[in-house]
Structure 1
Amino acid sequence: MIAVITLAHDLDMTHQDLRRRLDLASSARPNLGRPRDHYTAIDTFLAIASRHNAAMVDAIAPLVRDLPGGHDLAHEYLAASRSYEEALALVKARLYGSIYAVGRPWPGIWAEVHRELEAVCALELRLAEALLAEDDHTGDGPQDLGARLHHAELASPTRPHPWIPHQGVTGHLARVVARRVDRFWDAAEGRMVPEPVRHHDRTHQGRLTQYLLADPHLDADE
């Protein structure tokens, strides 16, 4: 029987994956023969980070806001989430040569992303703790929150959008529109974005699928 994975455990695994991908992205370097080689690592990190961040804002933060005493924690998380998304947008702007970011050195940009990621990760775990401490926050039990987050990731934007509305119905609709726009450009650019997979259910992806998506997660003994 497959063990039930809690939201807190799913988040911990996601944070490990994001840190690993950020390390790969921040250490990627172009070379004279293949000047765009670093794009893949950076763009994949941006896609996964943006999608997870938007899903947390859409699916988890509102649940915490509705808890008794949860408003301040949700507000703190949303503020940190927006700052994190602004840092991701700066990476995207620098990568694609925006005049607003071309003068910013990469080490400073990556240091900012690392700092914002750690702040958001800590707050996400606090959100999970607040929800898991509330026995009847949804009436379905805490194990359903991992599925809720996973489904939200499937429908979330794959690019950072820090300047669209983030809260309430307006924020949700803005993310729906952003996801449709991102999906169009992903297809037009041939962008490969790994599908979000719940961490206890990754075995359905064969080795070839993992290779094509640049998303290896084979067991250590393989």
Structure 2
Amino acid sequence: MTDNQLDDTTGAGVDTLADTVSETHDVLSRRLAEAESCRPTRERPRDRLRATDPFLASTSRHVQAACAVLGPAARRHLPDGRRRAHDLAQQSRRLEGALFQTKAKLYGSTFVVRRPWSSIWDEVTEEFDAWWRLEQGLVDDLTATTSTADRDAIAERLFRAEKHVPTRPHPYLPHQGVPGRVARGVAMRVDRFWDTAEGRMVPEPVRPHRSREGRITQYLLADPHLDGPAAEE
């Protein structure tokens, strides 16, 4: 039996792309819940900033990375991929618009000073859920139409992209094609400057877990993680 055959048997049910995106969604959902539930006090007036900023940074980054990676993957592998990529970009703008409002409220912008936090969070939650439905649908369809190697590569590109995209919402910048790539590069450098100047801590993205590694591969990596009955023998 070859190592590739072992890969197919020992990694059954594991999908790097689906697992990475699902885990990222869980992390972002948890940060959203923490930010929404935070109530600063007179003694701790900056609690809302500390709770909300990680959500803003990680969500902005993931949305931009998905447009940079999942959109092109959809166009390449799905029959209706061009439309799906366009829909993803449009929903990205709507979600980033809601995040932009959140950031403005968080930092005391006069444009949203009269808007209550409950209204802000209702909009963010609505757009975040709509985004997740689109992203999950794309990943499900990519899972059905691409090879394991393709999905592993997409997951790795998504992870790497999250390290090289803006960390703040930019709803009015291009999100697709060459203009989107150029805009992300410029915005990333500007955001990185301000992150450094403000001492802003940006959480690390979810790293893809290796999937479908055969026993020979695990042995060579000195990283055995066999599952199922074979692991108990």
TM-score of the aligned structures, taking structure 1 as reference length: 0.84
Question: Are 2:183 and 1:174 equivalent residues in the alignment?
Answer: yes
User: How many percent of aligned residue pairs carry the same amino acid?
Assistant: 50
Contact residue 87 and residue 113 of structure 1 kept, 8 A: yes
Q: Deviations over 1:71-91 (max 9, x none)?
A: 222222221111011000000
Q: Contact 1:13–1:199 at 8 Å: present in 2 too?
A: no
The question of 1:99 aligning with 2:110 is answered yes
The count of residues paired between Structure 1 and Structure 2 equals 199
Q: Tell me the secondary structure at the aligned position of residue 143 of structure 1.
A: helix
Max Rg structure: 2
Q: Distance in 1 between matches of 2:40 and 2:135?
A: 33
Distance 1:50 1:59 in 2: 14
Q: Which residue of 2 aligns with 1:14?
A: 24
Equivalent residue number for residue 97 of structure 2: 86
Q: Is the 8 A contact 2:56 2:168 kept in 1?
A: yes
Counterpart of 1:144 in structure 2 is 153
Return the match for 1:62 from 51, 67, 72: 72
- Of 140, 146, 151, the residue aligned with 1:129 is 140
Q: Determine the C-alpha separation between the residues in 2 that align with 1:15 and 1:41.
A: 17
Give per-residue Cα distances to partners, 1:175-202, cap 9 Å, x unaligned: 111111111111100111112131538x
- SS of 1:141 mapped into structure 2: helix
RCO higher in 1 or 2 (8 Å CA, sep ≥ 6)?
2
SS at match of 1:118: helix
Q: Which residue in 1 is equivalent to 2:43?
A: 33
Amino acid in the other structure paired with 1:158: T
Asked whether the 8 Å contact 2:156–2:208 carries over to 1, the reply is no
How far has the Cα of 1:130 moved from its partner? 2.3
Match of 2:85 in 1: 74
Matched, 1:50 2:50: no
AA in 1 matched with 2:17: L
For structure 1, the residue ranges without an aligned partner over 5 or more in a row are: 202-222
CA distance in 2 between counterparts of 1:79 and 1:175 reads: 16
Q: Distance in 2 between matches of 1:196 and 1:189?
A: 20
Q: Distance in 2 between matches of 1:149 and 1:109?
A: 28
Greater fraction helix: 2
Deviations 1:125-164 (A, max 9, x none): 111122222236xx94222211110000010111001011
Residue ranges of structure 2 left out of the alignment (5+ in a row): 1-6, 211-233
Partner letter of residue 9 of structure 1?
D
